[in-house]
Structure 1
Amino acid sequence: MTTLVDAINKFAFDLHKKIDGTSGNIFFSPMSIAAALGMVFLGARGDTAKQMEKVLHFNEVTGSGSSPGSAEKDTQCDRPGGPHIQFKALLAAINHHDKNFELSIANRLYGEEKYTFLQQFLHCTKEMYHAELQKVDFETKTEEARNQINTWVEKQTNGKITDLMASGSIDTTTILVLANAIYFKGNWKSQFDKKLTKEAPFWINENQSKNVPMMNKEGEFNVAYIQNPSLQILELPYDKNEMSMFILLPDKKGGAHQVEKELTYAKFQEWTSSKNMQKQKVDIYVPKFKLEETYELNKLLVALGMTDVFTRGKADLSGMSGSKNLFVSKAIHKSYVVVNEEGTEAAAATGVGVSTTSMPVQIRADHPFIFLIRNNKTQSILFLGRYNSP
């Protein structure tokens, strides 16, 4: 399972760099996007599969191949140790529900009722991704089908992701929608006292600031100090330590972009290793914030090298239906996060056609920073973002 996690985490930082060309805040779920694309990859063949495999780093996963499921009369969903088998285990390990911590990932297929899909493809999406096929009438009841998809996503994300498939995003030519939804709600292991939350400036750049409600607490937390680039890293654990938020705070007010340029999965692993992260008494200031973002993934994924799957006439998704007339027309991702005194609530959906001291050190996140939410049990980066401006 570790190799699939590495692949998804590498994909997370690759995609982050492409989104980084935009200004403002960033927030997305690499796990949600990878799960949706993983289902597409099940049906991909030839160059289409090779491109997807490279972009998703599935070629680095033990036992993977460019056309999973196509060997030996198509009787298996994946080769031993391949990405789909590991996805099955990963999804089982991640889903968790109790009173202080909820994390769920769900997948579903919506297929045109008049279209015949290969039973092997349907079997494998169900077996590996727990994705059932829901037959809908895209051809004559397009809006009804769109609303059905959106209602499912909204329910899976506790009402946080609405209207994933916007009006016009599907039409009478739509054959299949692969939907993924991820939802997380967790309480901090050590909550912030609401009485200590005060209005304070958040510096968008060296000359411009806006007032935000700034939370504050003092305690012992894992902290790292990185010299090149110059930044502080703070780990804020959620209840039971199964999940953590990592805040990467540049020393300079305008340093977030420089950190992002140098940020890779390998560096994140190094910076947050036990060698660098040490428990220390810290006085923390972190803003309360809420982000809602929408991304059309087509251009971002094409820029990473996943071109054929979006191109009519070039896409080879014959593992879905036996013919080469399918292509991905749209890949849409919506995300939502709220960070407050109690903890964090985050959701996303993807639709694809060491020192101790008596005085605490202060970490004041009053300027743009990068943040990640990680499942510590699997080491999976579930959400990745940049808080740039209130």
Structure 2
Amino acid sequence: MSADNGGGAASTCQSGQTALAAGLLNRFAAATADGNLVFSPVSIHLALALMSAGAAGDTLNEILAVAGAPSRGALEAFIRETVVERTLADRSGIGGPCVAFACGAWSDKSFPLKQAYRDTIVRTYKGETWTVDFQDHPVEARKQINTWVANATRNLITEVLDPHEQSRDTLKVVANAIYFKGEWRQPFDKEHTVDHQKFHLLDGSSIETSFMRRQRLHEERIACYDGFKVLKLPYNVADDDSPQYGLHNYKMRMTLPSFSMCVFLPDARDGLTGLVDRLTSRPEFLHEHLPRAFVPVGDFRLPKFKLSFRSSLVGILQSLGLRLPFEPSTKGLTEKMEDDDGKGVQLYVDDVIHKAVIEVNEEGSEAAAFTESDDEMGFSLFGDEPPPPKLVDFVADHPFAFFIVEETTGTIVFSGHVLDPSKEG
């Protein structure tokens, strides 16, 4: 495959990333039908890109197909220019979201990374590489990785690898970590938060939890469709008094990444499964149904929640068509490491671990994700959104899906569902 780094390739990669997010949500939602869910589609897409950097032949083709990229060069250019340098660039210095992205690779001292692969990690993904002793000091090596993840995620994720379960057969670990903390453009007043309010569970029972509220007769970005509503809560882009991007410089402000949390709420209390099926029926569904206008709101309640989720991705990625990297007999992952004689080492991916955490409260959202492998604009195309009623209620007192989206690129940074906001898992 030849590299195509033009706009067409970038658009293809973006569509591929969106399709991957839909596929992941479909499978994650089915696998976590009894619990809360949060994951980072962009982190998993990055993991595939990192995997492709050391792959060849049929293995590379399989990775690119699942990632939705026309070539490795196109995928690398997209990740570098769209994801790392734009979507995940920190804007906290001007009052925007605090975003941190980190990428790292650890190789055993007896099998160093090839220079070309090391250069890709450092130059393309702005990452770092280390040499450790997995064979003789596996506990210490794994503790080093956990420390790196904790630093990258501002201690939201402190441990992803149990140091005492480290296999001495491990030769390499590649990981990426994403941290996001955004303040609502219109924060909630804590004085209006109400406790001990009912949230209805899928089994027909209910629990009591805290709901954030706004006073009646205000406006929110809400779209009403057949069977569900969508709420968009934008995060602050920049301080109003920022000398470069404040309100006085509207055009400059509009060039900044625009993050929002989008809540898809089914009308029926038990309607989440059907809504997820619709959300994942086409990759474009989510973006086509984001609210585009403010509407007057009556009863408005959204629960506070904090979720944590950890899972192996092997089975899910295999169900999406990624099989060769996990087969011990594969010969397509030889471009990463070399032995003492300078010859390539035959590798396969033993596991891909993903962990994500998110907290949503009156000020905004704080979230982090980690993926490790061994080895303000919206629109609708349908015209099916009826004129909103004079007053719209949005009461998220039953299971719903949520997304943190960067709208200028369409990147879905975090995704998940809330079945019980009183629980983390």
- TM (norm. structure 2) is 0.82
Which residue identity does 1:348 align to in structure 2? A
Which residue identity does 2:356 align to in structure 1? S
The aligned counterpart of 1:331 is 352
1:83 aligns with 2:83: no
Aligned-residue CA RMSD (Å) = 1.8
Residue of structure 1 aligned with 2:13, choices 4, 17, 30: 4
Residue of structure 2 aligned with 1:49, choices 39, 53, 60: 60
- Return 5+ residue gaps in structure 2 as ranges: 1-9, 238-256, 338-342, 375-385
Residue of structure 2 aligned with 1:21, choices 11, 15, 30: 30
Residue of structure 1 aligned with 2:369, choices 348, 356, 371: 348
In structure 2, C-alpha distance between the alignment counterparts of 1:83 and 1:382, rounded to whole Å: 17
Residue of structure 2 aligned with 1:267, choices 265, 271, 285: 285
Q: CA deviation at 1:356?
A: 7.7
Query: Is 2:330–2:347's contact at 8 Å kept on the other side of the alignment?
Result: no
Q: Deviations over 1:67-100 (max 9, x none)?
A: x4xxxxxxxxx2xxx0101111120112113255
User: Compared with structure 1, are the counterparts of its residues 169 and 335 closer, same or farther at alpha carbon in structure 2 (3 Å cutoff)?
Assistant: farther
The aligned counterpart of 1:280 is 295
Of residues 85-94 and 166-175 in structure 1, the stretch that sits farther from structure 2 once superposed is: 166-175
The aligned counterpart of 2:383 is none
Three-state SS of the structure 1 residue aligned to 2:405 is strand
Matching of residues 210-289 of structure 1 within 5 Å: 210-218=207-215, 219-227=218-226, 230-240=227-237, 242-264=258-280, 265-272=283-290, 277-283=292-298, 284-289=300-305
In structure 2, C-alpha distance between the alignment counterparts of 1:134 and 1:202, rounded to whole Å: 47
Three-state SS of the structure 1 residue aligned to 2:185 is coil
Query: Is 1:169–1:330's contact at 8 Å kept on the other side of the alignment?
Result: no
The aligned counterpart of 1:92 is 85
Query: Is 1:165–1:351's contact at 8 Å kept on the other side of the alignment?
Result: no
Query: Is 2:261–2:405's contact at 8 Å kept on the other side of the alignment?
Result: yes
In structure 2, C-alpha distance between the alignment counterparts of 1:30 and 1:324, rounded to whole Å: 30
Residue of structure 2 aligned with 1:195, choices 174, 191, 197: 191
Three-state SS of the structure 2 residue aligned to 1:205 is coil
Q: CA deviation at 1:306?
A: 0.7
Three-state SS of the structure 2 residue aligned to 1:220 is strand
In structure 2, C-alpha distance between the alignment counterparts of 1:299 and 1:207, rounded to whole Å: 31
Query: Is 2:287–2:410's contact at 8 Å kept on the other side of the alignment?
Result: no
User: Compared with structure 1, are the counterparts of its residues 44 and 88 closer, same or farther at alpha carbon in structure 2 (3 Å cutoff)?
Assistant: same
Number of residue pairs matched by the alignment: 365
Q: CA deviation at 1:336?
A: 0.4
Residue of structure 2 aligned with 1:101, choices 90, 97, 112: 97
Q: Deviations over 1:130-187 (max 9, x none)?
A: 1221111111111101000000000010000111112455321111111100000011
In structure 2, C-alpha distance between the alignment counterparts of 1:381 and 1:234, rounded to whole Å: 16
Query: Is 1:243–1:373's contact at 8 Å kept on the other side of the alignment?
Result: yes
Which residue identity does 2:55 align to in structure 1? A
Q: Deviations over 1:331-373 (max 9, x none)?
A: 101110000011000001111109687x631100000000000
1:37 aligns with 2:17: no
Query: Is 1:279–1:355's contact at 8 Å kept on the other side of the alignment?
Result: no
In structure 1, C-alpha distance between the alignment counterparts of 2:166 and 2:172, rounded to whole Å: 10
Query: Is 2:202–2:270's contact at 8 Å kept on the other side of the alignment?
Result: yes
User: Compared with structure 1, are the counterparts of its residues 4 and 169 closer, same or farther at alpha carbon in structure 2 (3 Å cutoff)?
Assistant: farther
Three-state SS of the structure 2 residue aligned to 1:323 is coil
Three-state SS of the structure 1 residue aligned to 2:416 is strand
Q: CA deviation at 1:189?
A: 0.6
- Return 5+ residue gaps in structure 1 as ranges: 69-77
Query: Is 2:352–2:372's contact at 8 Å kept on the other side of the alignment?
Result: yes
Q: CA deviation at 1:20?
A: 1.6
Which residue identity does 1:386 align to in structure 2? H
Which residue identity does 2:50 align to in structure 1? M
Q: Deviations over 1:218-242 (max 9, x none)?
A: 4322221122xx1000100111282
Three-state SS of the structure 1 residue aligned to 2:129 is strand
Query: Is 1:280–1:355's contact at 8 Å kept on the other side of the alignment?
Result: no
